Amino acid sequence: MRLFNFVLIALFSCNSFSSNLDLINNILLSDKSVFTQTSLNEMTNSIQVSEGKISRINNTIFINISSPFKEKYSITDSYIEINDLEFNQIKTIEIETLPNKSIINILKLGFKKDNISEISNGSLALDIDERPLIIKLISDDSFSIDYLDNLNILNTILFKELK
C-alpha cells in the first residue's frame, strides 16, 4: 500500500511540474506579454523599476522598454539590435559573439525540463551560468523570475500574458 501511495504522489508531482512548466512557457512564448523588472540594491537601499512589452512577429522577438528609459531590442536568429530611442543610437550584436546565450535561448525556446527542478508547489529552480533562478507560477497568465545579478542585486521580473 505504501508503494502505491508513493507512486501516486510521484505521478501527481511530475504532472504538476510539467503542467506548471507548460503554463510558464505558454506565457513566456506568447505573441504579446508585458513585464515589470524590479531591482533591489540592499547596499544603496534603492529600488529601480523597468517596464515593457514583449512581442513576437515571425521569428523575431521585440522587447520594448517604456520606463525608466525608452529602448527597443530586436532579437533574430543571428543578431540583437539595440535601439536607444532617447539618444537615437542603434547597436547590433551578433549572437554568436555573446559569451552567454542561455537567456537568449530561453527567450526563443522557453524553459527546458532537463534543467529545472521543482522546489515547491508552483515554484521551480534552475541554474543559468552558475546563477540560480527561482521561477514562480502566479496564475494561468503570469509568472515571476527571481535572481541575483553579477553585482548581487536581487531582481524580480513579473511576466503577464496579454490576451
pLDDT, tens digit, 9 for 90 and up, residues 12-63: 344 444 688 999 999 999 999 999 999 988 888 899 999 999 999 999 999 9
- Check residue 121 and give its pLDDT: 73
User: Is pLDDT at 11 greater than 60 in this prediction?
Assistant: no
Q: Average of pLDDT values for 106-119?
A: 85
Tens-digit pLDDT profile for residues 53-99: 999 999 999 999 999 999 999 999 999 999 999 999 999 999 999 88
Q: How many domains does the chain have?
A: 1
Query: Which grid coordinates are listed for 81?
Result: 539590435
Reduced to 3 states, what is the DSSP secondary structure of residue 151? coil
Cα of 109 vs its chain's centroid, Å: 11
How far apart CA 22 and CA 19 sit, in angstroms, is 5
Per the structure, the complete domain to which residue 60 belongs is given by: 2-161
Burial class (CB in 10 A: 0-12, 13-18, 19+), 159: buried
Q: Nearest CA to 49 among 149, 150, 136, 158?
A: 158
Cβ(136)–Cβ(144) below 8 Å: yes
CATH of the domain at 156: 2.50.20.10
Is 10 a residue whose pLDDT tops 70?
Answer: no
d(CA 157, CA 144): 5
pLDDT band, very low/low/confident/very high, at 115 (cuts 50, 70, 90): confident
Sign for the CA dihedral angle at 158, 50, 107, 161 comes to positive
Per-residue pLDDT, averaged over 116-128, amounts to 81
